[in-house]
Amino acid sequence: MREDIEKYRRMSGVKSDSFQDLEATPHWEAYETGVQHYDADEYLQAVARLEESLSEALSALEECRALCEGPQEDEDEEEKMQPGLYEAIAGTHYIQVLKCRQQCVLEIATKPGRISATEDFIPSHLDLLQFAYSQVGNQTLAAECAASYLLFYPTDEPMLEKMKQYRTELGEDVASIEHYVQRSLMEKKLIYYAVEHLGETFNDPDLWTPDELIPENLREKHSLLMPLCACFSAGALPFEGIAVTMDSQQMNGSQRVVFDRVLTESECKDLLRLTKAAGEAGDGYRARRSPHTPHERFEGLTVLKAVQLAQNGDVEWRDAKLLLQASEKSRKIIESYFTPGKKLHFSFTHLVCRRAVDGEQEGRMDLSHPVHADNCLLDPEGQECWKEPPAYVYRDYSAILYLNDDFQGGGLFFTEMDTVTVTAEVHPKCGRLVAFSSGKENPHGVWAVRRGRRCAIALWYTHSAEHAEQVKERVWWPCHWFSLCRPSLEASSLFLPCPGHEWRAVPGKTGIPVTVRYSKPCPGG
Ligand SMILES: O=C(O)CCC(=O)C(=O)O
Ligand SMILES: [Fe+2]
């Protein structure tokens, strides 16, 4: 259904107000139209709608807070110790009321029908309003919004800078936000006291809570929830000959990059040979059509399947090995470029081809892959991307390593959150690796493949060891397949020996096997 809506949205003459959200609440309705006006540089309309949204949101918040009074249900109650009188009053009742009040901000920041909240909902209103007011020449109100924003983030440099410019024109009316912030801080203080001394737990819904207020042993956990600030500079790459062809700036976005010469022509040829097996025996969609469009056939092969095929003698070992090497090489490049010092695990690896179905290309309006983000559900009207299932929310970085260019169409493109304003395009070719963060900052899609077959290795990475790709971690690969053995692979206790070859693990100091010895090299090794 989402794809259908996206298709209608692309049709000429269809406007955003042709779609009506029957579940919208007053503040959400105002917020979404406010943001749309803001994005269209219509600042006068934007301020009106965002002011309305802010005031509706604050009154929805009051209503929600009022409902926190009265008996509380505690899901964990059974497991807790029976409270004494003091704990009963302080912990079981009062702290529960405070926690409930604190959670209200999540309730109002969650769009009806969604399960996750928009981060920083109230402060982001102030940020947008501050800019919009300054654009319409109302410096006094812009200053008020900046001052209100600073109540949440008192050390925010860009806002402090703006504040300096506005200072002379500053009005006094920041009272409602000041009250909101002060009251919330008092509540947090009490809750964190209960967390430290009464064994309470608390998921702080706000990003702006000052560190000093959070007990030291909880700080790191809180900061993990903060948005990741990735490093944009290329730095030295661990592989020679690889070039950065386009960076975020050249691609008009953030956390986007294109590398060339990651594979040689002959490596592409070998991997394309493997894709033939993907068509015949892969774990894509076999003879069925693409999951995205009936005009294309989609073939896929996972790493585990490639190994199984190699074991059965259906594909060459060295081609299966090349698939693994190429994915590891890409992982290293991307880790060193975007997150130096912070481990990126494989989340999923798929060798995929999209083939135009003969005779069905006339008047195609569809895309080979509709516009989407890789770790959240895009909501173009709301200019949001919901990090909730069925999206793969744990994916942090995405990459596509292209194998060929002998087809028509099939370009990768990035858009704004509206899914229609194209900001950058990447033309696939052998050895070209495009990588980008998997979130809402990078909506992307693939133009229809109108002729021929477009093949690539699609790669997704995660920081979360918990969500690391099971296949690669389960398979014990021969060490000589890599120039450097991967600790995560070495530490694995299951492995898949090459047929007829003996494998032996040599325990390291910690008892974890660190080396793999084998009696004879694997075929193709
Ligand atoms: O093949 C491409 O260029 C992009 C594919 C993609 O975005 C995806 O599979 O999520
Ligand atoms: Fe994608």
Burial zone of 158 (CB within 10 Å; 0-12 exposed, 13-18 middle, 19+ buried)? exposed
Ligand with an atom nearest the CA of residue 300: 1
Mean pLDDT of 288-298: 78
Convert the pLDDT of each residue in 453-464 to its tens digit. 999 999 999 998
Return the pLDDT at 423. 95
- In angstroms, the CA 488 to CA 472 distance is 9
Indicate whether residue 400 lines ligand 1 (CB < 6 A): yes
Indicate whether residue 412 lines ligand 1 (CB < 6 A): yes
Indicate whether residue 446 lines ligand 1 (CB < 6 A): yes
Res. 491: pLDDT tops 50: no
Mean pLDDT of 287-308: 79
Which residue's structure tokens are 């801080």? 185
Asked if 271 and 323 touch (Cβ cutoff 8 Å), the reply is yes
Q: Which domains are present in the chain?
A: 14-224 (no CATH), 243-469 (2.60.120.620), 476-525 (no CATH)
Ligand with an atom nearest the CA of residue 292: 1
Where residue 525 falls among pLDDT bands split at 50, 70, 90?
Answer: very low
Where residue 136 falls among pLDDT bands split at 50, 70, 90?
Answer: very high
Pick the catalytic residue from 297, 354, 453, 454. 454
Return the pLDDT at 84. 65
Percent of the chain with pLDDT over 90: 34
Ligand with an atom nearest the CA of residue 445: 1
* CB-based burial, 45-67: b 16+ in 10 Å, e otherwise: bbbebbbbbbebbbebbeebbee
| Mean model confidence pLDDT for the chain | 78
How far, in Å, from the CA of 339 to the mean position of ligand 2?
20
Indicate whether residue 411 lines ligand 1 (CB < 6 A): no
CB-CB neighbours of 320 under 10 Å: 26
Return the pLDDT at 459. 96
Return the pLDDT at 86. 64
Res. 180: pLDDT tops 70: yes
Ligand 1 pocket test target in 350, 378, 412, 453 with most atoms within 8 Å of CB: 412
How far, in Å, from the CA of 522 to the mean position of ligand 1?
33
Convert the pLDDT of each residue in 337-348 to its tens digit. 898 778 898 888
Convert the pLDDT of each residue in 62-102 to its tens digit. 999 998 886 655 555 444 555 566 666 666 678 888 989 99
Q: Which of 303, 348, 301 is nearest to 321 (CA)?
A: 303
How far, in Å, from the CA of 68 to the mean position of ligand 2?
41
DSSP for 403-444, please give it: ----EEE--EEEE-TTSSSEEEEE---TT-EEEEESSTT--E
Indicate whether residue 54 lines ligand 1 (CB < 6 A): no
**Stretch (H or E) spanning 34:** helix 26-39
How far, in Å, from the CA of 34 to the mean position of ligand 2?
28
Ligand 1 pocket test target in 293, 446, 447, 460 with most atoms within 8 Å of CB: 446
* CB-based burial, 263-280: b 16+ in 10 Å, e otherwise: beeebbebbbebbbbbbe
Copy the structure tokens of residue 359: 């005779």
Phi, psi of 204 (to 5 degrees): -65, 120
Convert the pLDDT of each residue in 348-397 to its tens digit. 899 999 999 888 778 788 899 999 999 999 988 888 899 888 889 999 99
- In angstroms, the CA 99 to CA 362 distance is 59
Relative to the CA of 428, which ligand 1 atom is closest? 3
Res. 133: pLDDT tops 90: yes
Convert the pLDDT of each residue in 14-66 to its tens digit. 887 777 777 778 899 899 899 989 988 999 999 999 999 999 999 999 999 99
Q: Answer yes or no: 454 catalytic.
A: yes
